[in-house]
Structure 1
Amino acid sequence: MTFMRRILAGLFLLLSGLSGPALAQGANVAFGALKHDSSLPVEIAADQLQINQETGKAVFSGNVEVGQGEMRLAAARVEVEYEGGESSTGKVQRLHATGGVTLVSGAEAAEAREAVYTIGSSEIVMTGDVLLTQGQNALSGQKLVVDLDKGTGVMEGRVRTIFRSDSGN
């Protein structure tokens, strides 16, 4: 998790260097790098895999890494639901990640306690102490909903934002 430590260290420096951050109850944000083609194949690597054919679910655990195009997700555990349950076609319908979830795409990174990625609707919902970094800017809240088709999102739950300007003032 060296990457995450670097993000947190950078965020700490960013937070400590600014006075008077903007506070809000909710924030609409643009996610340019998170605009994403959810029809791309999903690749998953983990230390362990358990499959339940009856429910059409698979549980990946231990250092789970999920990739789809340029988007990467890491977590301790990811439950994968396939379309059709027992008569599954093998097409992934939904991913539920828990345990130190990190989502990275381009220059944007988000972390939370858990995340649900519904592939059909191209939506990711991250919950629990969500932290989003976009370059030198940072947002935190309790829930982040991202629409990957539109590249937009909404952060909720006592949102705290820090924006750095390029002017150096």
Structure 2
Amino acid sequence: MSRPLAIGLFAAITTTATLAGSAMGQSRHDTSAPIDFAAQSIELQDRANRAILSGGVRITQANMTLTAARVTVSYTGQVISGSPSVSRFDASGGVTVSRPDQTARAQYGVYDINRRVITMLGGVTLTQGANTVSGGRLTINLDTGRASIDGSGVGTTRAPDGSVIRSGGRVTGRFTVPKRD
């Protein structure tokens, strides 16, 4: 998969943990690599410039794989080398983004191909080896390799009219410490 996944925006960010470098950051991704997909079904909505993939969806770009129950593929309408120019993936239902050294899981994910950013929301967990960080929203910049998790959306309480009564949350995790002699 190339480019970012961006998913909805939640209210306030109260706690932010930035993960970069060897601790939990992502390495640079080849966002120009072709994107392959597999699913049980596809529904083309040409007038809306989108396609709906459903049933065990698997999208692969270079060494990154996205899996989900359902993915909406948005495209610009332009055709490049015989294929429509894809601009965004909106994934839902047990979304997992994996790379050789890391795995991120959430309920929703957006890969914004033009911005080369992936955003995941809802019960986010980022794992690298024995290191794990959990929160409400994860943003991965595929150009810089920087991953950021915050507590937004975690513990949000809404009134019957949909307005936010209380928002916030905390980022939690565990980093392993190398054994010393």
Q: CA RMSD in A?
A: 1.6
- Which of 72, 83, 86 lines up with 2:76 in the alignment? 83
- The answer to whether 1:27 aligns with 2:17 is yes
Q: How far is 1:115 from its partner?
A: 0.3
Return the TM-score normalized by structure 1. 0.80
The residue correspondences of 1:84-99 to structure 2 (distance < 5 A) are 84=77, 88-89=78-79, 90-99=84-93
Contact 2:25/2:147 (<8 A) preserved: no
C-alpha offsets along residues 27-46 of structure 1, whole Å, 9 cap, x if unaligned? 00125544212111111100
Q: How far is 1:161 from its partner?
A: 1.7
Find the counterpart in structure 2 of residue 11 from structure 1: none
Contact 1:34/1:105 (<8 A) preserved: no
Q: Percent identity?
A: 38
Q: 1:168–1:72: structure 2 CA closer, same or farther, 3 Å change rule?
A: farther
Counterpart of 1:106, as a letter, is P
SS in structure 1 of the partner of residue 15 of structure 2: strand
Could you tell me how far apart the structure 1 residues matched to 2:104 and 2:121 are?
11
- Which of 63, 66, 71 lines up with 1:70 in the alignment? 63
Name structure 2 gaps, 5 residues minimum: 1-13, 152-169
Q: How far is 1:153 from its partner?
A: 1.6
Could you tell me how far apart the structure 1 residues matched to 2:89 and 2:145 are?
19
Report the count of equivalent residues: 143
Structure 1 stretches of at least 4 aligned residues deviating more than 6 Å after TM superposition = none
> 1 or 2, which has the higher helix percentage?
1
Counterpart of 1:40, as a letter, is A
Q: How far is 1:25 from its partner?
A: 2.1
Counterpart of 1:167, as a letter, is K
Find the counterpart in structure 2 of residue 105 from structure 1: 99
- The answer to whether 1:165 aligns with 2:177 is yes
Find the counterpart in structure 1 of residue 165 from structure 2: none
Could you tell me how far apart the structure 1 residues matched to 2:27 and 2:124 are?
16
Name structure 1 gaps, 5 residues minimum: 1-23
Structure ranking higher on relative contact order (CA contacts 8 Å, 6+ apart) = 2
Could you tell me how far apart the structure 1 residues matched to 2:72 and 2:17 are?
29
- The answer to whether 1:43 aligns with 2:33 is no
The residue correspondences of 1:53-64 to structure 2 (distance < 5 A) are 53-64=46-57
